[in-house]
Structure 1
Amino acid sequence: MTALWHQQQKDIEAGNIKLKAFLQGLVSTVTKEVEEVRARGLDIEVKGHHCPTCKKHLLRKTKGKSGYFWGCRGYPDCKATFPNKGSKPDFNSKPKSTGQATDHACPECEKGKLVKRTGKSKKTKKSFNWYGCDQFPTCKARFFEKDGKPEIPDQEDA
């Protein structure tokens, strides 16, 4: 089709056909093609990895701070991510540990339990332990560790 249109443009240049006739033919051809697509649709096969979490979207390979990973295109509604393994999402990998569960009740929301986590100081580069509520982000309670336990300030000090 483009070869035909190219030839017709050369004919316009040579004066063999008028621009108006070319444009009318162009509009007619495009209109017929659009009507045909509307009537029959397009048979497009989408290839990709479907998100096993939301089952609505495809996954997209993205470069992050630590290299490539696969994330759902439905973000932020679906926050599913998978590590990259051989340029494919690794659905069998275990999720990273979010911390060690404890028996300490959260003193702020009184619904959750505190989870022991490890952090790293940006200044000293040393690791330290801290505790956060397992109800995050609803409860944002955080406590440093002292003597192997969460350091919870007395309610009277607040």
Structure 2
Amino acid sequence: MCADLFDKPDETQPRTHYCPRCRNPMRRIIGKMGPFWGCTSYPACDKKLYDLDGKPSDTPDERYRCPVCTRPLVRAETKTGEDRGPDRGPDRAKGNYWYCTGYNKGCKVTLPDDHGKPADAWRCPRCGHLLKQRRGKNGVFWGCSQYPLCTASFSDMGGKPKGPGFE
């Protein structure tokens, strides 16, 4: 009976993750681009790691890829923590979202969060860039992300652009 108590890990205590560079504990930080792990000995050690399901990781989550450059997408958590999936409409100022890990290399793709996964992305049939859900004076519509270079726009039908090829 006593042996059983010592064989099981203590689930009530959070597991400590250690910095691969200096071996000090790491902590999960909610930054403006989402959660990441940073060394507690900062600024002496500036090691940062991606957050993968609440644990530190050297590589980003490979499950979801950018629809433009195919680099991994990373989920950014906002302080409100609200999903801004298709049911939330084009309100981009609130809630969680996904961004491309190639953001610093010029790929500025961001997608709304759809309950823990990136929302579907739709391509503009005229120029091939992504469509964005927007709010206009006549309600919600889909417009090309390259506006004003491309002026394509489509009506919204249940969170999807309405038209041929968007089924």
TM-score, length-scaled by structure 1:
0.31
Report 1 or 2 for greater relative contact order, CA contacts < 8 Å, sequence distance ≥ 6.
Answer: 2
